């Protein structure tokens, strides 16, 4: 039901052992050269150049490849050659499992097809953001995955509204938030009405009624929904080559006047219209 | 009946897991720890057969606790429960540190019980 990578799917389904997966990953680590290692292997740079670039990385927030170009160790054409060679020679986890004898080639094809069918529910449907938003693919994926989890985890019928930039976060009964850091920095917020909080609690706790549940538990269920969505966003982002770390969720009680968008941030608001009139919004506070 | 300790800072996840475990007929839930440090203490006092532990918790996180438990208690079987299961590096790190499996969130009852029964 969650976003997975192929090795995880195989272990979860009992198709390969955890020991076999670890061995296959160790084989990948040996065979798949990192960018610097590949550039050295192709004769473009020396180990000493890599060390200089690594030292420079301590004071510059740049990827190694871009830094090697900026420092004049690689040309842009050479960098593209290195990246192409990395892609063309990459040993994928399925192939590694075949090489160590944990899977046959025939089984690999069958399990890959099953894996693709399992993950088809998380293929993006496409969402339009206002023009000029950086890393738009990541935020489109984040909104898309949120919609899919509203359907699959909360079992709610809804209609997504048009995404717009906003200067103020509109008031609502409560908000649950989680911070992303890594290659991108942002705060993910879900804002819900009181009725919707109970609906989420019923779905998360798998109970017919949540009357009498303490407020602390009801709030926790919204935080848990945010945690599930953000963890799966981080998983999808890693498949896109983007590192997104998550932090424990928090709750916010917005004042009646709403909350101003913090300085240095862009706020994207995705209205989510629930069928019985309950109010829900996804807000992404993206650090500029 | 095998004894299971649930470790999660989220009350709602702990409730979900405790319900699945206690209704299974094969397992009994011996307690709920809210972070890694509590898990280590309760592993000592409750002596569970299995620990279902969240990865991302305030205070001592799940991977740090897993590292300690793997050294202190070779018999206990730890399964990580996380929304980050699909992040390949996190999944692999958990297995390398000694986790027997990783349950991704959102989880289904059948999948949780299948993984616990295979231990």
For the structural domain made of A125-287, what CATH number should be given? 3.40.1550.10
Q: What is the ipTM metric for this complex?
A: 0.88
pLDDT digits 0-9 by tens, A16-44 = 998 999 999 999 989 999 899 999 999 99
Mean of the pLDDT values across residues A99-125? 87
With vertex at residue A65, the alpha carbon angle to CA A63 and CA A71, rounded to the nearest 5 degrees, is 100
Residue B87 to residue A238, Cβ atoms within 8 A: yes
* Residue of B73, B70, B118, B114 lying closest to B95 (CA atoms): B70
pLDDT digits 0-9 by tens, A231-242 = 999 999 998 889
Residue A224 to residue B12, Cβ atoms within 8 A: yes
Contacts A21 to B, Cβ<8 Å: 92, 95
Domain ranges of chain A: 6-121, 125-287
Residue ranges in chain A assigned as alpha helix (H): 6-12, 18-31, 35-41, 47-57, 64-70, 76-89, 93-99, 105-119, 136-152, 194-205, 215-239
* Residue of A195, A163, A184 lying closest to A270 (CA atoms): A163
Query: Which chain A residue is nearest to residue B117, measuring alpha carbons?
Result: A14
Work out the mean pLDDT of chain A and round it to a whole number. Answer: 90
Q: With contact defined as beta carbons under 8 Å apart, do B1 and B50 qualify?
A: no
Q: Number of residue pairs across A and B with CB atoms under 8 Å?
A: 115
Domain ranges of chain B: 2-117
Query: Which chain A residue is nearest to residue B35, measuring alpha carbons?
Result: A248
Helix (H) or strand (E) holding A268: strand A265-274
Contacts B103 to A, Cβ<8 Å: 12
Mean of the pLDDT values across residues A258-263? 86
pLDDT digits 0-9 by tens, A62-102 = 788 888 998 999 999 999 999 999 889 999 999 999 999 99
What pLDDT score does A230 carry?
A: 94
Of B13, B89, B100, the CB nearest to A18: B100
Q: What is the DSSP letter of B57?
A: -
Of A229, A238, A246, the CB nearest to B56: A246
- Residue B27 Cα, gap to closest chain A Cα (Å): 19
User: What CATH homologous superfamily does B2-117 map to?
Assistant: Response regulator (3.40.50.2300)
Contacts A22 to B, Cβ<8 Å: 92, 95-96
Contacts A5 to B, Cβ<8 Å: 86-88, 91
Query: Which chain A residue is nearest to residue B112, measuring alpha carbons?
Result: A12
Give me the tens of pLDDT residue by residue for chain B, a chain 119 residues long.
999 999 999 999 999 999 999 999 999 999 999 999 999 999 999 999 999 999 988 889 999 999 999 988 888 999 999 888 777 788 889 999 999 999 988 888 999 999 999 98
């Amino acid at each position: 039901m969650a976003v997975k990578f192929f090795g995880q799917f195989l272990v979860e389904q009992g198709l390969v052992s955890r020991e076999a997966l670890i061995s296959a990953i160790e084989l990948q680590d040996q065979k798949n050269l990192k960018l610097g290692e590949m550039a050295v292997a192709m004769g473009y740079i020396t180990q000493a150049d890599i060390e200089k670039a690594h030292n420079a990385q301590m004071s510059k927030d740049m990827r190694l490849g871009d830094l090697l170009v900026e420092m004049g160790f690689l040309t842009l054409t050479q960098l593209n050659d290195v990246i192409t060679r990395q892609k063309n020679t990459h040993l994928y986890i399925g192939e590694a499992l075949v090489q160590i004898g944990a899977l046959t080639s025939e089984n690999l094809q069958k399990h890959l097809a099953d894996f693709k069918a399992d993950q088809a529910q998380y293929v993006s449907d496409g969402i339009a953001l206002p023009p000029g938003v950086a890393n738009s693919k990541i935020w489109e994926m984040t909104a898309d995955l949120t919609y899919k989890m509203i359907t699959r985890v909360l079992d709610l019928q809804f209609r997504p509204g048009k995404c717009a930039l906003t200067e103020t976060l509109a008031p609502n009964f409560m908000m649950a938030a989680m911070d992303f850091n890594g290659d991108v920095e942002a705060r993910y917020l879900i804002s819900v009405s009181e009725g919707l909080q109970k609906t989420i609690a019923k779905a998360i706790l798998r109970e017919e009624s949540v009357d009498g549940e303490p407020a602390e538990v009801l709030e926790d269920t919204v935080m848990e929904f945010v945690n599930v969505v953000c963890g799966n966003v981080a998983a999808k982002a890693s498949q896109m080559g983007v590192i997104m770390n998550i932090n424990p969720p928090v709750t916010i009680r917005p004042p009646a006047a709403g909350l101003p968008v913090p300085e240095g941030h862009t706020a994207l608001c995705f209205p989510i219209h629930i069928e019985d009139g309950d109010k829900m919004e996804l807000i992404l506070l993206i650090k500029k | 009946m095998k004894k299971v300790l649930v470790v999660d800072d989220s009350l709602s996840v702990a409730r979900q897991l405790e319900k699945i475990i206690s209704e299974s007929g094969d397992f009994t839930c011996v307690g709920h720890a809210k972070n890694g440090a509590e898990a280590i203490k309760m592993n000592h006092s409750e002596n569970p057969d299995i620990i279902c532990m969240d990865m991302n918790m305030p205070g001592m996180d799940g991977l740090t606790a897993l590292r300690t438990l793997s050294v202190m208690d070779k018999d206990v079987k730890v399964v990580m429960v996380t929304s980050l299961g699909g992040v390949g590096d996190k999944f692999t790190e958990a297995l390398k540190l000694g986790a027997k499996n990783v349950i991704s969130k959102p989880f289904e009852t059948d999948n949780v019980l299948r993984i616990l029964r295979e231990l």
